[in-house]
Structure 1
C-alpha cells in the first residue's frame, strides 16, 4: 500500500503508526496551500528579502539559491524554523496570482493565464461564451443585457470587424424579432453601405461610400425635410462657387434678381444668370437712357457671351419702357445694343443703317449733287441684291430741282439734280434706300 494519496500525494497514516498527528498535520499543511490556492506573485527567480509566515510564490524557470531546482513549484515560507516548502503542480491546478489579478492553470509545461490583466492564452481560446444567454457555434459570443459597454483602456477604443475577402461580409445587422431590418458595413464589396429592409428578405442600399474614391451616393434618392445649409450651399444669390447647391432666388430663379454692377465687363467674370439693373445702385453698361431693368447674361464659351436687357424705367425715348435690347460679345468687345427686330444699327460713310431679323435693311444718308457730273454715293451698309432695292429722294431747302438716279448697285448709286432748263445743279438731297441684306 502506498504511503501517499494518488492525486495530491498527501501523506497517509499507516497502520500501527506512532505519532499519527505528525502525518496528519503534514497533510493538512499541504491542503492549506493547495486548496483555494493563491500566491503573491508569479515567476520569481529568487525569494523576496522580506517574508511573512505563509507567503506563497510560483518559482520561475532558472531559479537559483534556496529555490534552485524547484522551477514552476509553489513555494511556501514556513518561517525560520521550517524554511521553504515546495509543492510540484499537477495538470489542471489553478492558482490565483494577486499582483496581476488573474488566475493561472498548470498545463503540464507552463503556468498559463485564464484571463484578467496578464494576457493569458487559455482565456482567449474559450470556444463559446454566453453572458446571461446561451452561445452556440454560430453566435460564439452571446450577451443578453439591457446595454453592452466597450470602453477604452488608454487613449481610445476600436471595435474591429474583419472579413476574409472583398466578396465576404463584415457588418452590423439590426433586427426586429430576429428578422433583419438594417445593415451597415462591408456587405459583399469593400464599399461602405447602409442597407434597409421591410421584411428581412429584400435589402435596399440607402447610402454607399465608394472605397476607391470616397464619393457618397444615394442609390434610392433623397428627401430632405429641412433646410440645407453650410458651405455646400450658395452664400448669396449670385454665388457662383463651383459645386455649390443653388438656393431659391439664385441668379433670380424663384426670387428677386441679384443686383449687378458693370454689365460691360469683358473678362468672363459675370456668372450666367438673371440680374437686377439699377443705375441708382451703381449699375452701368446698359442701353442708353435705361434706368432700371432685368438683365439675362449667358455664356457659350470663354469670350462668347450674350445679354438681353428688358427696360423697366427709362430717362430717354431711346429706351422705351418694356423694350427689349440684345447684344453679343465674341472676343474683346461687346457689340452695340439693338432693340426689337433690329439686329444691327450703326453709322458709316456719312449715313446710318438698320438691319432687321427678317432680312430687311434701311439706309439713310444726305448727299450734295454737283454741276460737273454724276455724284457717286456709297451706301452705309451694302445690300444683298438690287432686286427689290428702292431709293427715295428728297430735296432739302425747297429748291426747284429734279433728282435723277443714273445707276445703282448693291453697294451704291450715281445721282444728279437738274433745274427746269435741264442744267445740272448742286443741291442737298436726302436718300432713303430700302432692300434686303440677305
Structure 2
C-alpha cells in the first residue's frame, strides 16, 4: 500500500480534517497524534502535487491534486501554492465540514473549558473520559472504513477519548486513571453535552455494637418514610442503627448525596457485636470532598454513640474491598451464648454436647423466623469448636467457633427439627437462647 496514494484517494472522495485523515493511518508511526499524521500527509501530498504541476506533461494532474487538497483537505499550503502558480483556487464554503467528525475536533477547547468548570464543584485526583456518540456517526464511520478498505485506522470514539483526556488533564492538572478514576467525564462531542459520573467514596473499619436493641441496618416502616402511627411519624421502625451512626458524619464531611452500608454478615438485633468488631464499609455516592479526616470522623461517631456503637480502624477502601467483604460473610465467627433449659443440666451431658458438636457438620434448614425473607433451603455449616460452661442448674454458656452463616440460636433450640444435630435434641432437654454475643469475626 502506498500511504500517500491512499490518503489522496480518500481526500478525492471526502472532505477530511487533519484528525480524520490521520486516523485512517493511526497504526503507522508512533509518538504522534492523528492530526499530526493528517497534516504531514497533506503537506507531503502538496509537495508532490507541486512537483507534478511544474512538469509540462503532468501539469494538469498536479493542479487538480492541489485543488483537491485545498477543497477537501482544507490545506492552506495547497491553496497558497495554487495562487503562487497563478491557478484558480477553489472557494471553500464557510459551512464546509469534515465528512466524518463534522468539525467537532475543532471544538474541543470550548467543551474542555465547560467540563473544567463543572468539575470545580468536586474534589478529585484522577479522572477518565467517556465518549458518547450518535449511532449515525459510528455507522457512517463503519461504512467509510469498509468502502475504503481501511486497514490501519482506529475508531473516532477512541480518538475523541484520547484527545479530550489529554486536554482535560492539561486544563485541570489532574491525572487520567483507567481502572479506578474518582470522576468520569462523559462527553458527546456532537451534542456538545457533558455529564459527570462521580464515583463513590468508600471508607472501611470495624464496629462494635454494645446494646441489644439496635439493628445493624436502618429498618424503614411500611409507610415508606412518610410517617405513620406504627413508626411514630419517623418513617423508621427503629430510631437508631449501626448504619445510621457509622454513616451520618462521613456523609456530612464528604458532602455526598447518600450512603450505603456494607458489612461482613450481620448479627441479630438482640445480639451484641463485641471483640475487635465486625468489618464494614460505608459507600458514599457523589462525594464533593474525598480527603476527609478519618480520625476526626471516628471521634465524632464514637462521641455521638457512647455506650451504643463504637468504630475503629477507619481507612479508605474500594469497590474491590466491598466484594471481599461480601465474600467474607461466610468467614469464621466466634459466639458466646447464654442458654436456658427446661430441665436441670449435668456435667456429663454438657461434655457429651461438646464432643458431639466439635467438628460437626450442621444441616440447617432456613429458620422459621427468617424464612419469610430468605430462600427456604438446607445449608451445611461447620463447627470448629464448641465449649459449654454450666452457670446454674438450668443455664449454660456456650462458646461456639463456627463457619459463618450458622444460625446459632437454632443450633440450641433445634427449630422444631430444622437444625440437625442440635443441643436440645442431644440432651433431650428443650432450650432457648437468652443472650447472644458475637465475640469475633475472623476475616481471611
TM-score over 0.5 for the pair: no
**Structure index of larger Rg:** 1
More strand by share: 1
Higher RCO (Cα < 8 Å, 6 or more apart): 2
More helix by share: 2
